[in-house]
Chain A
């Protein structure tokens, strides 16, 4: 038994030595030399996060962007970080063309809020920023079945009950307005989020650069202090957050 343990230990040390010395120098990923073809794709658990021809997005002139319809049954939903009662699935969009690759950050989908047998994913490659969800959206983000969208920030004491966003059917965005706010400084942190209580599901706390943002925030910037009207919009088709300020 002692002899076996010694041999097993020596084998493990040998493997560790190989891994710690050889692998970083040669690069396992370089050795594998994995490539994907040009195109714009959706990836998730259903394709093991590796795109195939079946995962290519198609341009829709009606929607003025690339679209992809994904059967909800093919997505994998797991319990949210904020509670077992919320089921969350994830996807990313990959754009590769002419040597340029942009990969969106992970975008969450709330199964109970979607309540549909398909998810429509939208992408505008020109808007996309590598590592961020900007330029990508989906049909679930349009739905307010279980929760509306809210803005919580320093300007409303992070109180989401004062931050409800309304649907602007003209501009096809969710909009929050705060009138006659007395701005005493030039930057105010905030987030866009859904809320069934306690900012849940937490995966939808969005700071404009990533979902599930945790303690990171978007920033409302003002040119000057004083009485202002604040408008914040969220586009569910492109995940873009825009802010505007009217100075009085």
Chain B
């Protein structure tokens, strides 16, 4: 049953050193950081083990024991256990402790670090999930079928089964063609404030509808509609909550047009257009630098600037042998605020077991990260 006993053990090491300085502070704040990791993996007949030690602590580990159709997986600080149903009833996005027990198509997942456990499997063509979330029992059933060149997926969910309430019902359906060039996605919720605590599916109203259609090759087009509405005032909800958009791509160029809400256009001036977003840009090569530029005008113009405004973006990068250069800049001009973003990196990769990078600024331009004169030198070594 267990086969011959043999195993292999492999270890990898990595060390990261960083020296950072924040020149926006007075006095300048400097910090020296170091991390040392040992990544080990061992596998043999009937088991797989992988682990990561950071400094002297166990950072994460995974042990899988397999025999015949059974598989037992033990986790320490690992991201595991996201369900595979169409709506994703339980999505796990951070490291957790727990175990999974799998037999054929059936799986039992138990979490030590969050109050959640579930069983999932298939009965014929119907997938099911029965979960215990705190003191609540959730049940989900899903079905998928292909016909006439189309794919149809449907799912029904009842949360907190033992205290049945229409509010806790969720229904899902998705109809697409085989290539996903067009699609209709509909989600029904028993009430406006229905929530799926662990699911990425957001519910704003009882009905959520998404339509899309892609056509053309060069240029290619994608037209879409995204809306949510209740049963009490569906037409008003539809007008207030509908987003329509058109994306055009031609070679390296793009143009995106989006209108959020259809009931708030009050005039010809952009300040009377309600929420909208127009962006255009292109990629090209100049002096062997790979370059991108873009421009946007809209409201809200950025995650951190909620008013009407404009956004200019540019980036350039090039590799010279073992040296790579990269820089990007973004300027946002809002109603009453302006923000400048800048990030630059020089990386030396000519070493067999390491690399050195010099970075300045924060590369996350989607967040509220205007440029601050802070940066550092980073050494990564591995063997």
Contacts and interface: CB of A to CB of B under 8 A. Distances in A.
B306 A12 contact: no
A29 B219 contact: no
Given A50-B307, A214-B367, A28 B270 contact: yes
Interface residues of A, number: 44
Interface in A81-124: 83-85, 92, 94, 96, 101, 103, 105-106
Contact of A20 (B282, B307, B310): B282
B33 to A, nearest CB: 9
B280 interface: yes
A128 B357 CA distance: 35
Interface string B288-324: 0000010101001000101111101000000000000
A197 B114 contact: yes
B31 A189 contact: yes
Interface string B342-370: 00000000000000000000101001101
B31 A79 contact: no
B248 interface: yes
A27 B29 contact: no
* Interface majority SS (helix, strand, loop, mixed), chain B: loop
Interface string A63-88: 00000000000000001000111000
Contacts of A83: 197-198
Given A20-B281, A29-B310, A212-B368, A13 B250 contact: yes
A214 B364 contact: yes
Given A19-B280, A24-B312, A131-B339, A84 B333 contact: no
A44 B255 CA distance: 29
B30 interface: yes
Contacts of A24: 295, 310, 312
A96 B336 contact: yes
Given A106-B368, A221-B29, A16 B335 contact: no
Given A34-B335, A49-B335, A214-B364, A12 B195 contact: no
B253 interface: yes
A50 B300 CA distance: 11
Interface string B144-166: 00000000000000000000000
B368 A105 contact: yes
B202 interface: yes
A120 to B, nearest CB: 22
B130 interface: no
Contact of B310 (A15, A28, A48, A50): A28
B337 interface: yes
A85 B368 contact: no
A215 B310 CA distance: 27
Interface in A1-51: 5, 9, 12-13, 15-16, 19-20, 23-24, 27-29, 32, 34, 36, 43, 48-50
Contact of B255 (A16, A27, A34): A16
Contacts of B306: 43, 49, 92, 106
Contact of B250 (A9, A96, A101, A131): A9
A187 interface: yes
Most buried by A among B199, B307, B336: B336
B197 to A, nearest CB: 5
A185 interface: yes
Contacts of A198: 94
Contacts of B370: 131
A210 interface: yes
A23 B309 CA distance: 12
Nearest to A29: B333
B295 A20 contact: yes
Contacts of B280: 15-16, 19-20
Nearest to A90: B306
Interface string A215-242: 0100101000000000000000000000
Interface in B231-253: 248, 250, 253
B27 to A, nearest CB: 8
A96 B336 CA distance: 9
Contacts of A185: 32
B129 interface: no
Interface in B204-241: 216, 219
B223 to A, nearest CB: 12
Given A16-B280, A84-B196, A105-B304, A23 B297 contact: yes
Given A19-B280, A32-B308, 6 more contacts: A15-B255, A20-B293, A28-B270, A84-B202, A212-B368, A219-B22
16 contacts: A9-B250, A12-B255, A20-B280, A20-B282, A23-B310, A24-B295, A32-B308, A49-B306, A83-B198, A84-B196, A84-B199, A94-B336, A101-B336, A131-B337, A212-B368, A219-B31
